[in-house]
Structure 1
Amino acid sequence: MPSQAGWLDRLKQFERRGRVPLGLLLSLLVLTVAAWWLTLYQAVSMDMPMGLAVRGGSDGMASGEMSGMAMSGIAASGWSPEGAAVFVALWTVMMAAMMLPAAAPMIFMFAQAQARRDPSVAVPTWIFAAGYMLVWAAAGLGVYVAVQIGSDVATALAPDARARWAPLALGATIAAAGLYQFLPAKRVCLSHCRSPLAFVALHWRDGRLGALRMGLRHGAYCFGCCWALFAVLVAAGTMSLAWMLLLTLVVFAEKLFAHGPRVASAVGAVLIGLGAAIGSGSTAMPWVS
């Protein structure tokens, strides 16, 4: 893994060669910082955790009995187009904050390849990045549906049944995310995410529509690589700052560290153990909102 100075030197080399405009680098940095600021503001200042909710109140259930799944927030108001729009918008901003640092090498590689073909770099590159984020926005809609269904099920259960089944469901979710870390699908998607040059060589498409298609394809590989990790985030209540920061580091390490696949395996083993401990009732979900 190159040092921070190494990455800066590499970016300066791109700029000197005229392949990655400095404005593109700065705008990506500003976008990432702004996304993190909005995400932190949402998590700290607004009473709207985006996890499971028991509609109509908790029926006397203690806040910890859902083992970290948020007991209030968007899901409490039920299904609505407005709620879905707000959820997807907040989710997309959060994904931009968490995923753009790890996606930056791929974005820079696209810009470098684009510059070799056309002096116009900024617009196709942002179209590529937009396609990447569209995949995560679509994932947010899926998460909204899953949260609403989970809230419907939680509301239908009696309080004692919720207290009994919530740790099992949470533990199973986390353990399943850990198991996914060892599956071939994870390895294939991670290999594409870790090889920007190979991705550009194999999947290059000319034009702005081609940039969009490439962004969607890369976003699909990224989703295939990371969706199980974000299932853990949803289980933790979605707005858990500790889990957001931890998973951001995990994704970054998996994609950019020299031993990223080993990191993925180690994380999988930890998640399997944590899921088993939570499911058995021996521990609660740590670091929840």
Structure 2
Amino acid sequence: MSAPAGMADAGNQPSANMDGMVMAGTPAAGLSVGGAAAFIIAWTVMMAAMMLPAAAPMILTFAQAQARRDRAILVPTWIFIAGYLLVWLAAGLVVYPFVQWGHDMASHPASRGDDWAPLALGGTLIVAGSYQFTPLKRLCLRHCRSPLAFVTLHWREGQGGALRMGAQHGLYCLGCCWALFGILVAAGVMNLAWMLLLTLLVFAEKVLPLGQRLSTIIGLALVAGGVAAASGGVPIS
């Protein structure tokens, strides 16, 4: 994996050093099948590392429900996890062109990252913060915070059912977190500081007892941070 080079880094790195937008295998310019494959693999591994801690209560609830119906729980549980990760893999397919486009803009000789990078990251933070207050965000977060209710309402028998349930939970999770991970795309997908911060935020709002209130606080903080970043009041990388 190469060094992070998201929108936030565009204003701080010379274009000659931007040999890959996000990850090893991503081409220096233009879309490619090889670059997309490398990105999708690394993206899915990264999403697993960041999202599975917050999804652990749902996975454990599914395994317990499966155990009450069938002694064989290992394979169905892994299939449930696979269904969940397939959603994030599909999300990576959507993200990849935007990542490549950002790299192409940042590495263009006429690009002035100092001008547009703070606005891009600031705007992304504002959008992500505003999304925290939408009905869709609250609906998806409510499902993510209620493992027993989800398993009861969406239970399907068999391995195919486990895959479907994992994908359904993944969709709720994507609906809950897509805007937060938009920040990661803007700041640099391999920016470790942002990765850690977003992992903690997702875990807090999904698992901690006051997660729904924390979601509101997170939204306000992101909007404030976006305004500051766009105005140049805070460093962006």
TM-score greater than 0.5 by the shorter chain: yes
Deviations 1:212-252 (A, max 9, x none): 11000000000011111111111111111111111111111
What's the CA shift for 1:75?
A: 5.2
Residue 141 of structure 1 corresponds to which residue in structure 2? 93
Aligned length: 231
Code of the residue aligned with 1:255 in structure 2: it is K
Within the candidate set 224, 239, 247, 2:190 is matched to 239
Cα distance 1:91–1:182, how it changes in 2: closer, same or farther (>3 A)? same
Q: Using the TM superposition, give the Cα deviation of residue 117 of structure 1 relative to its aligned residue in structure 2, in angstroms.
A: 1.2
Among 99, 110, 130, the alignment partner of 1:179 is: 130
With 91-100 and 141-150 compared, the bigger mean Cα shift is at: 141-150
Q: Does the Cα contact within 8 Å between 1:50 and 1:87 map onto a contact in 2? A: no
SS at match of 2:209: coil
User: Deviation of residue 281 (structure 1)?
Assistant: 2.0
Give the deviation of 1:116 after TM superposition. Answer: 1.2
Rounded to whole Å, the distance in 2 between the matches of 1:170 and 1:145 is: 18
- Conserved? CA contact 2:177–2:202, under 8 Å: yes
Structure label with greater radius of gyration: 1
CA distance change for structure 1 residues 75 and 279 in 2, over 3 Å: closer, same or farther? farther
| 8 A Cα contact 1:167 1:278, kept in partner | yes
Instruction: Work out which of the residue numbers 107, 112, 118 in structure 1 matches 2:59.
Output: 107
Q: Which one-letter code corresponds to 1:85 in the other structure? A: A
Tell me which residue corresponds to 1:276.
Answer: 227
**Structure-2 separation of matches of 1:157 and 1:273:** 32
Give the Cα separation in 2 of the matches to 1:230 and 1:103.
16
Letter in 1 for 2:141: L
Q: Decide whether the 8 Å contact of 2:121 with 2:226 is kept in 1.
A: yes
| Residue aligning to 2:13 | 63
Alpha-carbon distance in structure 2 between the residues aligned to 1:53 and 1:261: 29
Structure 2 counterpart of 1:247, one-letter code: L
Secondary structure of the equivalent of 1:76?
A: coil
Q: How does 1:218-229 map to 2 (within 5 A)?
A: 218-229=169-180
Whole-angstrom CA distance in 1 between matches of 2:204 and 2:19: 32
Using the size of structure 1 for normalisation, the TM-score is 0.74
CA separation of 1:50 and 1:85: change in aligned 2, threshold 3 A: farther
1:117 partnered with 2:88: no
Find the aligned partners of 1:105 and 1:221 in 2 and give their Cα distance: 14
| Mean CA deviation greater in 218-227 or 229-238 | 229-238
Q: 1:241 to 1:271 in 2, by over 3 A?
A: same
* CA deviation after TM superposition for structure 1 residue 140, in Å: 1.2
Paired letter, 1:130: A
Once residues 122 and 19 of structure 2 are traced to their aligned partners in structure 1, the CA distance between those partners, rounded to angstroms, is 21
Q: Compared with structure 1, are the counterparts of its residues 269 and 169 closer, same or farther at alpha carbon in structure 2 (3 Å cutoff)?
A: same
CA distance in 2, matches of 1:189, 1:233: 20
How big is the alpha-carbon RMSD for the aligned residues of Structure 1 and Structure 2?
2.3
For structure 2, the residue ranges without an aligned partner over 5 or more in a row are 21-25
Q: TM-score, normalised by structure 2?
A: 0.89
- Work out which structure has the larger RCO, using CA pairs closer than 8 Å and 6 or more positions apart in sequence: 2
Alignment gaps of 5+ in structure 1? 1-45
Residue 167 (structure 1) shift: 1.7
